[in-house]
Homo-oligomer: A and B are copies of this chain.
Amino acid sequence: MNWNDPSFPPSPPAVSDLRAGSLAQPSDALAWVDARCVALDTELVSPVEAFGRILGAPIYAIGNHPAHATAALDGFALHAAATLGASDYNPLPLNLQSNFAGAMGNDVAMPIALGQTLPAGADAVLPTEEAGLRGTILDVFRPIAVGANLVRAGDEAIDGAVVLDTGNRLRAQDIALLALIGTEHVAVIQRPRVRLLMTRTPAGDIDTILLSALLRRDGAQFEAAARAHDGDSLCDALALATVDSDLILVCGASGLGDNDFAVDSVARAGVLDMHGVAINPGATTALGRADNVPVIVLPGSPLACLYAYEWIAGRAVRRLAGSRNDWPYPKRRARLTRKIASTLGVQEFCRVRLHGNDAEPLTVTDGRLLASAVRADGFVIVPVHSEGYAENTEVTVLLHGSE
């Protein structure tokens, strides 16, 4: 997507203002992300480099793969018809031959290895163990069907067929098939270029480590600029970052205190769309733009930073990278061992620890500690309009890591 494109969505009126005590709905924040962050353009890479990347254009087969029928195991290429009636008591003899001028005769068999092209005329492969060798004579002990133990021309991919479609994250077998059909260049979605602008938040080094790991996990290319010490230097950094970034993350100074210059800087450098989102942790998150590059301000408290990233900024990164919208990490159903109480009007991320099929909510006193996310296996989302869940409720747990 070209950010200078006139189709870039116009700014909606600011829908939240933390100072006035009005928080944006989480759904509004996600809609803001979805409107402004769409899959980037593609770039061409080799199949090997394409591993783990997201396909930006369909891959079509050019020609049939395999081009001709090939043996699916080691054995003997032959005419299936010549094996009719064969048994241990009635072995049928065929002449072994390794080369043919024209099509293979009916009374002939040719040794063949897995992956080798069948000779013209052959229509089946007899496994090595179902025949016996006597000099140049092959005794066939079993009848086999036409097409047995071979891969037909086009079985892996037929000329012109879509082998893999846009939006697929390429797995090991996918890039192997691309190599098999001779694909040299694969159009994958570019990695989002994310600029990380740290403010002078007390936990700055910790937030940098946290966000760098999350961005790495989500496939972004990122660069952390020097810390902005005040509003002016953040304004300058924002202006600079717009030149070569697909997304700008500002971390810290997101609240309402005297030193919280981040949000004012976004407003001065561009447009501030929302300040304050009804999520907890993460309520001081702000959304805006500088020269039409989306800017997301994340809280400086590491725990709030983590959830604001996971729920809002991470979605922006993943959408730019061409991922699907839904939470891309493992989920589990589990039963609450204790009730979860949640504030009406705020979407809460309740950290839980899994014990088999049980989810144990971590206690409220853990509410603002980074350690609570470390102790947790994942989190349960309590929506804005819910006051929580009773003990024994079955809930969906979004896992922080792989299972």
Interfacial residues, chain A to chain B (CB-CB below 8 A): 21, 47-48, 51-52, 72-74, 111, 113-116, 128-129, 151, 155-157, 163-164, 169, 171-177, 179-180, 201-203, 205-207, 209-214, 216-217, 255-260, 300-302, 306, 326, 328-331, 368-371, 373-374, 400-403
Shortest beta-carbon distance from A216 to chain B in Å: 7
Nearest Cβ on chain B to A270's Cβ, whole angstroms: 25
Which partner residue on chain B sits nearest A328 by CB separation?
A: B402
B173 touching A374, Cβ below 8 Å: yes
A330 to B169 alpha-carbon distance, docked (Å): 15
Assembled-state Cα–Cα distance A256/B217 (Å): 43
Q: Which residue of B lies closest to A365 (CB)?
A: B155
| Distance in Å: Cβ of A314 to nearest Cβ of chain B | 10
State whether A74 touches B213 (Cβ < 8 A): no
A151: which B residues are within 8 A, CB to CB? Answer: 368-369
A209 touches which one: B48, B74, B206, B255 (CB < 8 A)?
Answer: B48
Which residues on B sit within 8 Å (CB–CB) of A256?
A: 74, 128-129
Residue of A52, A374, A401 with most chain B CB atoms under a 10 A cut-off: A374
A401 partner residues in chain B, CB cutoff 8 A: 169, 171
Q: Which residues does chain B contribute within 8 Å of A330, judged by CB atoms? A: 330, 402-403
Q: Are B180 and A74 in contact (CB under 8 A)?
A: no
Q: Contact between B212 and A370 (Cβ–Cβ < 8 Å)?
A: no
Chain B residue nearest in CB terms to A300: B114
Residues B213 and A172 in contact, CB atoms below 8 Å apart: yes
Distance in angstroms from A284 CB to nearest chain B CB is 9
Contacts of A260 in B (CB 8 A): 74
Contact partner, A169, options B74, B213, B300, B402, Cβ 8 Å: B402
